[in-house]
Structure 1
Amino acid sequence: MARWTGEWLPGAGDGTTAGGEGTQRWRGERLGLPQSGVGSVAGGGPRLLGLVIDLVLASLVTTLFVKPSLQDPAVMQMFNLWSVGVWAAITIIPVTFFGFTPGMAAVGTRVARLDGAQMVGVWRAVVRAALTFVIIPAAIRNIDGRSWLDRLTGTVVIRMR
């Protein structure tokens, strides 16, 4: 019986590659990526840590412009809205041009296009940020370690070191 993820997760659950030939030995093998080291698929831990670093950075940058006041819900609502905007900016702009956010740079990961192009591009960066904001598409990954947002944008998060 096919899993509900079978259409978008080639080889999900059965250990085969997209064409059904043999067992995949490591994440990213069928994408032509190395098993470990530079260029290999980044794990979930570094991806999560990079996101947390970006969220903290966005909050710190926002405090330069909006003073948080935990006792005033209106101020905190404005602070949170500005923080989301700053997070979007520090996520979309660097990923568009460089392939990584400040948090991704800190943990040694980057976004790479599967077609080999150098720049991720604006629409891919915007879709990645929007789906990361929703959380679930970023959390569910396939046998290659790629999330829904990676699959939708034709990208993969790889290690830089």
Structure 2
Amino acid sequence: MPPDAESAERYRGQSLGLPPSGPGSLAPTGRRIAAFLLDLVAAGLVASPFVHRRDLPGLAAHLPGQWSLIPLVLDYLIGLLLFGRSLGMYLTGLRVIRVDARLAIGPIRALVRTALLVALIPALVADRDFRGLHDRLTATAVIVH
């Protein structure tokens, strides 16, 4: 079979044993980005009432800046450990699974994945399945729930 025909038959998630579409398939990039943006907005909304900078006028004094990382990290850690997803993933119908075993993600894997995601750069380095470095290093994948 020519290489072009072989790559045309291959789909995202095939090497992980996931279906080509529907529940259990790898999440589309747009939905993953939407989930992450929802998590960022929620974290900012949670952090902003606790921030008050005297050097900025009006609403700008309540912009959370880096303080929003605290609720973002808590959202990911607690969400992954208890439910397998963050708030944004829940709202967009996504879930994080282990691809190496049918087990819960576990605290170490959730912590490493969250730390890499907060660093953002690993999330931008993707393989041919469009899984970020944070997913590859923790043997996880984001799927459609």
> TM above 0.5, one fold?
yes
* Equivalent pairs, count: 138
Q: Give structure 1 regions of 4+ aligned residues with deviation exceeding 2 angstroms.
A: 63-70, 79-82, 115-118
Q: Deviations over 1:8-60 (max 9, x none)?
A: xxxxxx88xxxxxx546100112111000000011211111111100100111
Residue 114 of structure 2, aligned match among 117, 125, 129 = 129
Query: Which residue of structure 1 lines up, in the alignment, with residue 34 of structure 2?
Result: 49
How many percent identity over aligned positions?
Answer: 38
1:60 aligns with 2:60: no
Q: When the two structures are superposed, what TM-score results if normalisation uses the length of structure 1?
A: 0.76
**Structure with the higher fraction of residues in helix conformation:** 2
Q: TM-score when scaled to structure 2?
A: 0.83
**Equivalent of 2:77 in 89, 92, 97:** 92
Query: Is the contact made by 2:26 and 2:144 (CA closer than 8 Å) also made in structure 1?
Result: yes
Question: Which one of 139, 142, 149 corresponds to residue 124 of structure 2?
Answer: 139
Counterpart of 1:108 in structure 2: which amino acid? G
Deviation at 1:69, TM superposition (A): 6.5
Gaps of 5+ in 1: 1-13, 16-21
- Measured on the aligned residues, the alpha-carbon RMSD in Å equals 2.3
Shift of the alpha carbon at 1:64?
3.5
Q: Report SS of the residue matched to 1:126.
A: helix
Trace 1:1-161 onto structure 2 (pairs within 5 A).
23=7, 25-67=10-52, 71=56, 79-160=64-145
